[in-house]
Amino acid sequence: MKILVTGATGFLGSHVVPTLRKQGHDVGCIARTDSALSRSHEGCSVWRVEDNGQGLHAAVRAFRPDVVVHLAAHYVRDHREEDISSLIKANVEFGTHLLDAMGQAGCDALVYAGTAWQHYRDQGYCPVNLYAATKQAFATIAEYYRDAEGLRLLELHLYDSYGPDDRRPKLFNRLLAAAATGEELPMSQGTQRLHLVHVDDVSRGVAMACEQVVSFEPGERRVYRLPSERAVTVRELVDMLNVANASRPITVRWGARPFHRREVFQPWERAPVLPFWKAEVSLETGLEAVRHLRAVGSRIGG
């Protein structure tokens, strides 16, 4: 198939693109004007667009994909006043341009990334933060295009991901950085449970979703999730990392920081898992692989 990927230069997108290409798909990439391409984008058609989505109509008309994969997003855990415009521009305005471009070009199959954080207190919809609210806002706008243009929608609600080449300032990377430097890390009590899914498993799930969405009826929408084999607490995650790296354990001061406002203690698990998919990279295997790569990189100055 011809598959157009937004957010192609982000952590997830840079793994999804080569996964799709290995399966024989013709992949087009949407990238911001200031984002850097890597070897994972070689051989792909690339369109540069503005942060607000200007340029998407021309890209969709030119490539005419069978499926669009929408991964582009802006993430902020606890927003400040100056974050509001960037969250809405990236997560609502950009996506609306994409939906409109698909409707005008006759491209009717969309796989897009939602977040489990749209379901605080395990509710059908209750956003943890403004980021999750903007993700839901896009899904609501997509409902209009589904009904008006007959778009087929497959929404994947994702959990925390990890893997090689991840430079995002998220919990997993903070823990690895603390192990490397030996600094004591002040944290909450660590009782929050989370699904931590390797990026290879997420990428495989996105590819499978592309194959499934084209079989939907016009105007059909389904919501699935991609969980890990089992959820673990933050304390269990630290223990697992310390087993894998016994010579340089992470020193944590548990209870030194309060929980986040609207902390998620139990991950949302009400939606069905994507059919025929399950996580294949165990957390133990994935943690050891990433830790080893980081250790090698630090020795050679990477």
Residue 105 sits in a domain of what CATH number? Answer: 3.40.50.720
Residue 214 lies inside a defined structural domain of this protein: yes
Residue 241 lies inside a defined structural domain of this protein: yes
What backbone torsions phi and psi does residue 115 show, to the nearest 5 degrees?
-140, 145
Task: Looking at the structure, tell me whether residues 238 and 152 fall in a common domain.
Answer: no
Task: Looking at the structure, tell me whether residues 26 and 91 fall in a common domain.
Answer: yes
Q: How many domains does the chain have?
A: 2
pTM here is 0.93
Task: Looking at the structure, tell me whether residues 107 and 155 fall in a common domain.
Answer: yes
Residue 275 lies inside a defined structural domain of this protein: no
Q: Which amino acid is at 85?
A: S
- Tokens for 218? 């016009």
Question: 135 is in which domain, residue-wise?
Answer: 2-163+196-225
Task: Looking at the structure, tell me whether residues 123 and 209 fall in a common domain.
Answer: yes
Nearest to 62 by CA among 111, 142, 2, 152: 2
Q: Cα–Cα distance between 161 and 233 in angstroms, integer?
A: 15
Residue 273 lies inside a defined structural domain of this protein: no
Nearest to 101 by CA among 144, 68, 57, 69: 57
Task: Looking at the structure, tell me whether residues 139 and 243 fall in a common domain.
Answer: no
Task: Please report, for the domain that includes residue 257, its CATH number.
Answer: 3.90.25.10
- Tokens for 212? 């499934």
Residue 168 confidence (pLDDT): 84
Task: Looking at the structure, tell me whether residues 128 and 179 fall in a common domain.
Answer: no
Q: 66 with 2: CB under 8 angstroms?
A: yes
Task: Looking at the structure, tell me whether residues 219 and 237 fall in a common domain.
Answer: no
Task: Looking at the structure, tell me whether residues 209 and 188 fall in a common domain.
Answer: no
Residue 268 confidence (pLDDT): 94
Task: Looking at the structure, tell me whether residues 142 and 247 fall in a common domain.
Answer: no
Task: Looking at the structure, tell me whether residues 138 and 155 fall in a common domain.
Answer: yes
pLDDT in tens, the chain (302 residues): 999 999 999 999 999 999 999 999 999 999 887 777 777 788 888 999 988 888 999 999 999 999 999 999 999 999 999 999 999 999 999 999 999 999 999 999 999 999 999 999 989 899 999 999 999 999 999 999 999 999 999 999 999 999 988 888 888 888 888 888 889 999 999 999 999 999 999 999 999 999 999 999 999 999 999 999 999 999 999 999 898 777 888 999 999 999 999 999 999 999 999 999 999 999 999 888 876 655 544 443 44
Q: Cα–Cα distance between 226 and 206 in angstroms, integer?
A: 9
Q: Cα–Cα distance between 214 and 200 in angstroms, integer?
A: 22
